[in-house]
Structure 1
């Protein structure tokens, strides 16, 4: 009997591979008010996890006030610089993810993120996870398409040489889960907040990275 071809695993980065969401929330909670846009770390975690930074700023502009000309570029540059410094000093992998990746060594893998490629590389370098992905990194900023648009995951799958049905999206944020389902892929929702968030129909919900290898093994049958 011919063994099953290993599924291609497409990992989100922030909140899925690395525990960066609270760092990003704190950085945004600090810098956005400096530009006249009221914001808190809690607000990021409750409303904007995984959402493109420009979209967050545009939403806040509609609620409060429009930024002055050229202010967005200054705001984004400041946010990126502060975030990189925090990541290099404080970032750790999501609990259980190192062991899970080692158990999944036979699967082709890529990182598919709404963040810039520099941020992805910083995250993988800071947590020493990069060797698991052989430089297969797909950034929304490079491909010019952002989750929840499913095209980001579709483009990553095509570049990896796999059809959607042979791919598994692993994502913690609603925008990523939505994108994976719309792309026609298997989706595993790493749900860090099971008392607050529901896993959408069609996705597999897990609460800890240690559950990931067995969830993928069941899909690979």
Structure 2
């Protein structure tokens, strides 16, 4: 292992790079009740942030009623279409993230998301962040493994040519933080709700993207010293 190599930074997308979570919450709060599944935007933010859409629907089906056969495909297509329109019209970058990415541009970086690749690309195009990642996008839908399964982050690291110990996960959602820790990586939890959420043991909690550069510099020093 080349201990002098910069750490590989694996960024979640929704809620970490871009402020899409509230848009997604509102879209789900609109469309799920149309299909007979009671749901609210607040419920998404409280219970389901970062969770695979199919898992959310299955959970609601177990609580309320089972969708008719083939209805899920129609529901998901409608949700994706509405979400893409909202993203292209309204999506903004997480405060401080543009400056952080610029300051960290000497590190290899990739996006690792539970969302479909089309959604990741839409987010990066809508906010002009794509050039930082040069197409290094790892979607759970493409790799067929979803956070909190650590294999999604492990597959991304391997494809980037790094060991887990050489990688830093930056994620805002509990499922992503759990996945990164289980993958044996350094994990930075971008905690937007410090009064409501705690950072798990083993992860580093920050509250603003402007803290990223200093934390990653400190991690880099520690990894080199420990090698």
Q: Which secondary structure does the structure 1 equivalent of 2:187 belong to?
A: strand
Cα distance in 2 between the residues matched to 1:105 and 1:155: 22
C-alpha distance 115-3 of structure 1, shift in aligned 2 (>3 A): closer
| CA deviations over 1:12-54 (Å, ceiling 9, x no partner) | 0000000000000000000000000000000000000000000
Q: Paired residue for 2:128?
A: 128
Q: Which secondary structure does the structure 1 equivalent of 2:168 belong to?
A: strand
Cα distance in 2 between the residues matched to 1:5 and 1:111: 19
Compute the displacement of 1:4 (Å).
Answer: 2.7
Q: Which secondary structure does the structure 2 equivalent of 1:217 belong to?
A: helix
Cα distance in 1 between the residues matched to 2:105 and 2:68: 49
Q: Paired residue for 2:69?
A: 69
| CA deviations over 1:161-200 (Å, ceiling 9, x no partner) | 0000000000000000000000000000000000000000
Gaps of 5+ in 2: 222-227
- How many aligned positions are there? 220
2:24 is the alignment partner of 1:49: no
Cα distance in 2 between the residues matched to 1:78 and 1:197: 31
Compute the displacement of 1:5 (Å).
Answer: 1.5
Q: Aligned runs of 1:27-46 on 2, under 5 Å?
A: 27-46=27-46
Cα distance in 1 between the residues matched to 2:21 and 2:161: 30
Cα distance in 2 between the residues matched to 1:3 and 1:15: 31
Compute the displacement of 1:3 (Å).
Answer: 7.9
C-alpha distance 140-3 of structure 1, shift in aligned 2 (>3 A): closer
Q: Paired residue for 1:162?
A: 162
The two structures have a TM-score, normalised by structure 2, of 0.96
Q: Paired residue for 2:177?
A: 177
Cα distance in 2 between the residues matched to 1:207 and 1:215: 12
Q: Paired residue for 2:101?
A: 101
C-alpha distance 144-41 of structure 1, shift in aligned 2 (>3 A): same
2:92 is the alignment partner of 1:92: yes
C-alpha distance 153-3 of structure 1, shift in aligned 2 (>3 A): closer
Cα distance in 2 between the residues matched to 1:48 and 1:11: 19
Cα distance in 1 between the residues matched to 2:212 and 2:33: 38
Q: Paired residue for 1:9?
A: 9
| CA deviations over 1:95-138 (Å, ceiling 9, x no partner) | 00000000001000000000000000000000000000010000
The two structures have a TM-score, normalised by structure 1, of 0.99
Q: Paired residue for 2:225?
A: none
* Alignment root-mean-square deviation, CA: 0.9
Cα distance in 1 between the residues matched to 2:4 and 2:23: 40
Cα distance in 2 between the residues matched to 1:32 and 1:3: 49
